Amino acid sequence: MNLDLRIPMGMMFSIAGAVLFAFGLATRTRAELYSRSFGINVDLWWGLGLLMFGIILVGMGRRGQGRIEARKQGGALQKKTKKR
Amino acid sequence: MPNLAAVDWMIVLVYFFFAIAIGISLRQFIANSGDYLLAGRALPAWICGLAMVGASLGSIEMLGMGAAGARYGAASASFFGLGSIVPLVFAALFVVPAYYGSKARSVPDYLRLRFDAKTRTANAALFLLGAVVYAALSLYVMARVGAALGLFDMMFRAQTLGSRGVSLLSVVIPAAFVLIFVLLGGFGATMYAQVMQFFVIVAGLLPVVLMGLKQIGGWGAMKASFSAAAHTGAGAPASGVGAPALAAGLGFVLTAGYWCTDFSLLQATFAAENADAARRAPLIAAAARVLLPFLLVVPGVIALGLPTPHTTEVTHTDNGAIYHEIDVVPRAAEQGQGLIPARTDSIAEPAAGNILRDAKGHPLLDYEMATANLLPFNLPTGLLGLGIAVLLACLVGGVSSRIAAVSAVFTYDLYEPWRSKGNDGAREQESKDPSLAVARWAVVGASILAAGLACAMLSVHNMPGLLDLLALTFAVLNAPLLATVLLGIFWKRATGNGAFAGLLAGVAAALLHYGVTLPAGETRGVAGGWITVLHHPPSGLRQNLGTALCAILVNVLVTVIVSLLTAPPPAARLAGTLGAPSFSQLHREKGGKRRSGYIAVALDLNPAALAGIVLLAAIAVSLIFL
C-alpha cells in the first residue's frame, strides 16, 4: 500500500486532540463538568497529549511516505542491483 | 442516561471521517483482486500485527472482556492475557510461517495445497458461516448497548420512530458504514482502520481505567470490592468455571483454535510484505496484547465495585420554599450490582422491561453492560466522545475484518475454482479481473446478510451470554479446523481424504455434543440441548470446553484412521506445505538490511528472542492480576 498509515492516523489524533483541548480550554471555569474527574480538567490535558501524539505520528509518517515514494521511483533500479 | 454533547459527536465523527478517508485514498491503488483482498501483500509487520489485535477486539470481545471482569473478577485478565499470548506465540513460530511459506492466499487455500479441493471447499463453507454469524452478533450486541445507553435516541427519536425502529437503525447504520469503507478500500482499508482502532482503544480507555481506579480507591480496593460483591446475593457470580486450571485449559483449547486457524485474524499475516514480517506480526500482536487486559477487563471489575445507584429523594428548604429533588433510577439499574443493571426481557428498551431472575429469585445481571455503563459514569463531556468512539471503533473493526475475510474466502476458494472449472477459454479473453468485481459483490452480500441476521437476533429474547456464544462458534468451527491444520503441518502421512473426513466428523461431533448438553439453569434452544438433554455442565463455558475437546479428539481419530487406510500423499504436495522454515533460515533470507531507531532494532531481534520476551512479560502481568 502506497500510503503511510501514520499520516491519516496522526491527523485523526491531532484533530481529536485539538477539539478536546479547545473544549477543555473553553470550559475550564465550569467546575461542575469536571466533578467526576476530581476537579482535574481531563479534557484539556488528555487533548493536549493526543495532539502531541498525533503531531509526532504525522512527522514519522511524512518520513515514511518519503521513503515509499523514493522506493517507487528507484524500484526498477534497486531490483537490478539486488540481483547482482 | 448520558447526554452526548456536540463535542462528543464531533470526536466520534472525526474517527469515522478518517476511516472513510483512508478507504477513499486507498481506492486509487487497487488494480486487481490481490490488491483488494490482501492489500497487495506489501505491508510491514507492525501494521499486520496491530491489525490482528484490532480484528480480535470486536465489540463482542471488548464488551465481553469487561463482562468477564465483572463476572469472574480481575483474575480473568490473566486468562485473557495468557490465553491469547501463548497461542499467538505458537502461531508465530509454527503455523503462520507454514501458511505464508506455502504461498497460499487464505487458510482454506492452504488446505487445498496441503490436502485437496474438497477439504478446502468444506472449510471455506464453514468459515463463511461462522464469519457471518460473528459479524451479526457484533452488530446485535452493539445495538443492545446503543439502546441501553440511548446513543442513537437523539438522532432518531425525533422522527417518530419507535424504540424498535431505533434499534434496527443502530444495526443498519454501522453495517452500512462498514460496507462503504470496505467496498472502497478493500482489505488495506480494513487493516488501517484496525490499527487506528488499537490506538483509539488505548487513548479512550486509559482515562476510564485511571479515573475508575481513583474513584474506587486504588488497585487493592478494586480487588477487595470484587470479593465483597461476590458474597452478596445479587451479584453472585455464576461460578461455573471453577478451578483456574480448568479455565486455563479452556483458554488454550479454544483460543489456540481461534488464533491459529481463524482467517479473519490471520488475513493480516497473509498481507505481510515478506515471510519474516508475516512471522513477526503475531509476535507484535502478542506484545500489544500484554497490557490490553488492564484496559479491557479492569473497567468491568470497577463497574461491579462502584455503589449501586438508587432512586433518591432529597428535601431541603431554601428561603422558606421546600424543594424535593428526586433522582429517578430505573428499576433494572436499582436491582443490579454496582453499575451493572439487571437483565430484562426487553432489548429495545432495557430499562422498561421485566427483570429476569434465576431459580432462586436473584436478578440476573447484564454483565455485557459493565464497560459501556462505566464510560458515561466517569468520563466528562468531551472525553465521553472518545469513549463512545472506542465502542464504535471496536464494532467497526470486528465486523469489517469478518466482511473482508468473507470476501477473500468467497472469491479465492469458492468463486475462482468454480470459474476455472466452468469456462477456461472465456477466462483468457476477459481483459478485466472478474475476481475484483466478485470480491466487491461478496462484501455487499456479506454485509446485508450479517445486518439481516442481527435484526433477526434482536427479536430473540433468550440469548445466552455473548462470550459463551462466541466460545460455541470457536468450539464448533475452529476447534476441528485446528486439529486438521496441525496434522497437516506436522504429520506428513495425513491425506486429503483423511483430512476431509476428519474435519466433517469433528464438526458433527461438536454439534452432537452441543445438542445433548445443556448448561445448568438454561432453557433448551440456543443454549444447547436441542436434540435431547443427557448432561448438565455447570456453565456455558464448561459446555463449550467439552464441545471443543470432543471435536478435536474425533477429528484427530478419524483423520488418522482414514489417512492410514488411504494412499500416502505425494512428495510434491508436501514440498512447500509441510512444516515451517526455521528462524535462522528466515533471518538469513531477509539479508543484511538493518534499520535504524530503537523500535526498529527491537523489532529486528531474532523472533525466538522476541517470543521469549513477550511470554515473560505476559506471565509477569498475569501474576499482578491473580
In a domain, A44, yes or no: yes
B383 Cα to chain A: minimum distance (Å):
6
Which is more confident, B606 or B179?
A: B179
B379 CA to chain A: closest CA distance, Å?
A: 7
Q: Tell me whether residues B195 and A24 touch, CB distance under 8 A.
A: no
B378 with B476, same domain: the answer is no
Please tell me the predicted confidence (pLDDT) of residue B32. 81
Residue B615 or B429, more confident: B615
> What are B540's three cell numbers?
456455558
Of residues B14, B29, B211, nearest to A12 (C-beta) = B14
Across the range B349-368, mean pLDDT stands at: 69
Stretch among B29-38, B49-58, B398-407, B425-434 having the lowest mean pLDDT: B425-434
d(CA B61, CA B467) in angstroms, rounded, equals 7
- Positive or negative CA dihedral for A48, A54, A58, A64? positive
Residues B546 and B447 in one domain: no
**Structural domain for A39, as ranges:** 6-83
Instruction: Tell me the average pLDDT of chain B.
Output: 80
Residue of chain B whose Cα is closest to the Cα of A10:
B196
Together in a domain, B474 and B454: no
| Domain tally, chain A | 1
One domain for residues B360 and B409: yes
Task: At A65, give phi and psi (nearest 5°).
Answer: -65, -40
B243 within a domain of the structure (yes/no): yes
To probe the interface with B, which of A5, A51, A84 has the most B CB atoms within 10 Å? A5
Question: Comparing B503 with B148, which gets the higher pLDDT?
Answer: B503
Q: Is residue B587 part of a domain?
A: no
Does residue B312 sit in the same domain as residue B356? yes
**pLDDT tops 50 at residue A50:** yes
For the four alpha carbons of A27, A30, A32 and A37, in that order, the dihedral sign comes to positive
| Residue B612: predicted pLDDT | 84
Q: Could you tell me what percent of chain A has a pLDDT over 90?
A: 35
Q: Is residue B622 part of a domain?
A: no
Which residue of chain A has the CA closest to B15? A12
Q: Is residue B185 in some structural domain?
A: yes
Does B516 map to a domain? yes
**Residue B249: φ, ψ to 5°:** -60, -45
Instruction: Give the total number of structural domains in chain B.
Output: 2
Same domain, B315 and B328: yes
Task: Encode pLDDT of A7-36 as tens digits.
Answer: 899 999 999 999 999 998 888 888 777 877
| Cβ contacts from A onto B, under 8 A | 86
Interface test with B, best of A2, A4, A12 (most B CBs within 10 A): A12
Q: Are residues B311 and B390 in the same domain?
A: yes
Torsion angles phi and psi, residue B313, rounded to 5: -130, 115
**Chain A residue whose CA is closest to B389:** A16
Q: Do A8 and B14 touch (CB under 8 A)?
A: no
Q: What is the mean pLDDT of residues B108-121?
A: 90
Average pLDDT, chain A: 81
B536 and B456 belong to one structural domain = no
Cβ–Cβ of B15/A9 closer than 8 Å? no
**Residue closest to B18 by CA, chosen among B268, B204, B264, B200:** B200
**Are B25 and A3 within 8 A, CB to CB?**
yes
Option in B25, B199, B207 nearest A9 (CB): B199
Taking only the tens place, the pLDDT of each residue in B563-598 is 999 888 887 777 777 766 555 555 555 544 555 555
Domain that holds residue B530: 466-581
Indicate the pLDDT class of residue B233, thresholds 50, 70 and 90.
Answer: very low
Owner of C-alpha cell 498525533: A54
Query: Residues, chain A, total?
Result: 84
Q: What is the pLDDT of residues B409-443, one digit of tens each?
A: 999 888 888 887 765 545 444 546 788 888 888 89
Would the pLDDT of B506 be above 90?
A: yes
Q: What are phi and psi of A58, to 5 degrees?
A: -60, -40
Distances (CA, A) of B578 to B565, B566, B572, B581, B583: 20, 19, 11, 9, 16
Which residues have C-beta within 8 Å of that of residue B218, sequence separation ≥ 6? Answer: none
Q: If you average pLDDT over residues B137-155, what whole number do you get?
A: 77
Instruction: Give the CATH number, domain containing residue B109.
Output: 1.20.1730.10
Q: How far is CA B335 from CA B216, B289, B308, in A?
A: 20, 35, 8
Of all helices (H) and strands (E), which one includes residue B324? strand B321-327
Residue B52 falls in which region: left (phi positive, over 0), alpha (psi -120 to 50) or beta:
alpha
Residue B159 has pLDDT above 90, yes or no: no
Residue B292's closest CA among B62, B613, B44?
B62
Instruction: Please tell me whether residues B376 and B486 are part of one structural domain.
Output: no
Q: Rounded distance, CA B57 to CA B202, Å?
A: 12
Cβ neighbours of B457 (radius 10 Å): 21
Q: Which residues of B touch A47 (CB under 8 A)?
A: 382
How far is the CA of B599 from the CAs of A83, B93, B483, B602, in angstroms? 29, 21, 36, 5
Binding-face residues of A in 38-67 toward B, CB within 8 A: 38, 42-43, 46-47, 50, 53
Which of B38, B381, B388, B593 to mutate to probe the A interface, most A CBs <10 Å?
B381
Chain B residues with CB-CB distance to A27 below 8 A: 381-382
Give yes or no: residues B318 and B257 share one domain: yes
Same domain, B107 and B123: yes
For the ranges A43-57, B233-247, B578-592, B605-619, which has the lowest average pLDDT?
B233-247
Mean pLDDT: which of A79-83, B173-177, B516-520 is highest? B173-177
- Judged against a pLDDT cut of 90, whether residue B557 lies above it is answered with yes
Q: Does a structural domain hold residue A12?
A: yes
For residue A9, list chain B residues with Cβ-Cβ distance below 8 A. Answer: 18, 192, 195-196, 199
- Assess if residue A1 is contained within a domain: no
Q: Do A23 and B214 touch (CB under 8 A)?
A: no
Q: Which helix (H) or strand (E) holds B294?
A: helix B292-296
